[in-house]
Amino acid sequence: MQIELEEVSYAYEEGPVVLKNIDLSIEEGSFVGFMGRTGCGKTTLIQLIAGLLVPFEGKVLIDGKDINSKKYDRSELRRKVGVVFQYPEYQLFETTVEKDVAFGLKYSGLDREDIRQRVKEALETMGFCFENIRLQSPLALSGGEKRRVAIAGVLAVKPKILLFDEPVAGLDPLGRESFLQLLSHLNNEGTTIIMVSHNADALAECAKRLIVLENGRIAQDGTVSKVFFDIDYMKSLHVGVSTARLVSDMLLHEGIAVTKDTVRYDQLLCSLRTILKGKGSL
């Protein structure tokens, strides 16, 4: 399910142009990360892909269809694309967890048993026991549990494309690790993931492609190792690189020959073990 943006520009009413002539193609099954300073257009971009905003120039196409065409079936878009905004737990409102997760299936045409099965699968994917959680009030849950329930509501629709805006913000290290593992699992199952984040470590762990926006345009586009390679240039764009990339750069400057394209902790650890084994230390 390919996503294409053709010469897309967008400006908020009486405001400056946020995105300028964006040409972008995202292949089905991709995991794409977006970075950039605050106000560079990251959130606007995913809202355009989700059909929540309409570009004032250009087209947004999914599977070759212009999603803003008058002939396009918007219900098709809702089935294909799921959006999880920052702090999705604030969107919970139903009296029980089961009803909240099922809300997006209200007009799906599925019968009651199919809806129940979808809700059960989504909650179990997010680490819950269905029978234990389904009748609880979502508003009485912890912050982390609320977030997982909100995401389950998106997963229950079984979209082919998932858009995330700062999904790891506010999560503790264990919660972040668990969430990133979930995203990797969904991506490995064929779901296209687009993730906006300031967290360079999180993007390094999961993304297969990284795009950096600056002043409404694409400044960098490539693999994570390629984009993170030039640390000084990334600083000039007011974004960071992963901790593992910074450490590997410092080690290289000290004459320790770690792998140059290291961006993740596991890569750094593997490289150091290889060096130490070669010196007979392990």
The C-alpha angle 99, 104, 107, rounded to 5 degrees, equals 105
**Residue 161: pLDDT above 90?**
yes
Q: What does the pLDDT look like over 113-123, one tens digit per residue?
A: 999 999 999 99
Span 161-185, mean pLDDT? 88
- Residue 91 or 158, more confident: 158
Supply the pLDDT for residue 279.
67
Domains (range + CATH), the chain = 3-238 (3.40.50.300), 242-282 (no CATH)
Span 140-147, mean pLDDT? 86
Q: What is the rounded distance in angstroms from the CA atom of residue 183 to the CA atom of residue 195?
A: 10
**Residue 27: pLDDT above 60?**
yes
Supply the pLDDT for residue 280.
56
Q: Kindly state the DSSP code that residue 90 receives in the 8-state scheme.
A: G
Supply the pLDDT for residue 37.
93
Structure tokens at 264: 């993740």
Supply the pLDDT for residue 282.
45
